[in-house]
Structure 1
Amino acid sequence: MTDQIQTSAEMLEAEAIPRCREVHTESDDHGPDLPEPLKKPVGNKSPARWAYERLILYVKKFEESLDGDQEVALGFTGGDAGTLRIEGMGYFDPDIVTFYGTDTMGLKTQMIQHVSQLNVLLRAAPKHVDRPEPIRIGFRLAEEIEVEQVLENDDIPVT
């Protein structure tokens, strides 16, 4: 218990500040390091954007554990649809998240999901045989979040 007095607005704001904690059996890892844009209260973010930004952190963290012959793929849950090699992600306000990529047969694939039904299984897949290096989409997407935050803070419209 602290002697600090908070207004009701401060208490609500504190509740909206993102928190992330994980415990793993194999390491002292306690979840992804949140970049500055995600340490701030949720504010006016839509559920889709909020889910999108957090998914990026999980994809990036998952990629950090892969070796040089693996890439991140998304396993479809609840059926035998297989996997999708993640080559892009996006969101459509207020409540849609989408994944772009190719399936195990090399066919162009897109998964569109409502945030209330979001269920993502990340898998390690062999890198594409025609590429010398695996694709690391999580790192690219994380950079985009930071660039977008800078642009929004400068009141420049983001397209």
Structure 2
Amino acid sequence: MNSFFNPVIDTSEIARRIESIKVDSPLQHMWADEQFHILKHYIQEFEQSLDDEHEVGILMTNFGQSVLMQVTEVTYENPVILVFKGFVNEREATLIQHINQLNFLLTTIKKESNRPKRQIGFTLNINEDK
């Protein structure tokens, strides 16, 4: 008669232990929310260096064209999308950008004299647990 040992394995205990392991993976830092916080730091630092007559603009170059955007809001959608809202040539505009394609120049735009200086709003994704 052939007998073998068949242990009883508590898979729920294994799953609980695996979930309790905290891993700081490099991939975690490649998500849009991490890139959002890095961009927020650089944009706010640049914004603070400006006088009262200038606002932050971003100069983007794609497909051989350059576009100057006056940014009013930045948000994100994990895992890989950043969203820039603002104005291009005095018209409302939204740029939806994959994080691997982020490449722009922070620059200054002279603010309109008849309104207060705008600051860029940074909106966290409310669906994220951050």
Please give the residue correspondences for 1:84-99 in structure 2 after superposition, counting only pairs within 5 Å.
84-99=69-84
Structure 2: segments with no counterpart, 5+ residues: 1-20
The equivalent position to 1:55 in structure 2, one of 29, 32, 39, is 39
Residues 29, 35 of structure 2: 8 Å contact kept = no
> 1:46: how far off?
6.1
CA distance in 2, matches of 1:44, 1:75: 28
* One-letter code aligned to 2:106: L
**TM-score under structure 1 normalisation?**
0.57
Give 1:93 deviation, angstroms: 1.1
Correspondence for 2:118 among 135, 140, 149: 135
Aligned to 1:70: 54
- Who is 2:109 aligned against? 125
- CA drift at 1:45: 6.4
- The yes-or-no answer on 1:110 pairing with 2:63 is no
Higher RCO structure, 1 or 2 (CA under 8 Å, sep 6+): 2
Q: Distance in 2 between matches of 1:98 and 1:121?
A: 16
Amino acid at match of 2:119: R
What residue is the counterpart of 2:10 in the other structure? none
Write 1 or 2 for the structure with the bigger share of helix.
Answer: 1
Q: For residue 87 of structure 1, report the CA deviation from its aligned partner.
A: 0.6
Amino acid paired to 1:85: Q
Structure 1 or 2, whichever has the larger Rg, is 2
Q: Which has the higher strand share?
A: 2
Q: TM-score, normalised by structure 2?
A: 0.68
Matched residue pairs, number? 107
CA shift, 1:98, in A, is 1.1
In structure 2, distance between residues paired with 1:71 and 1:84 = 11
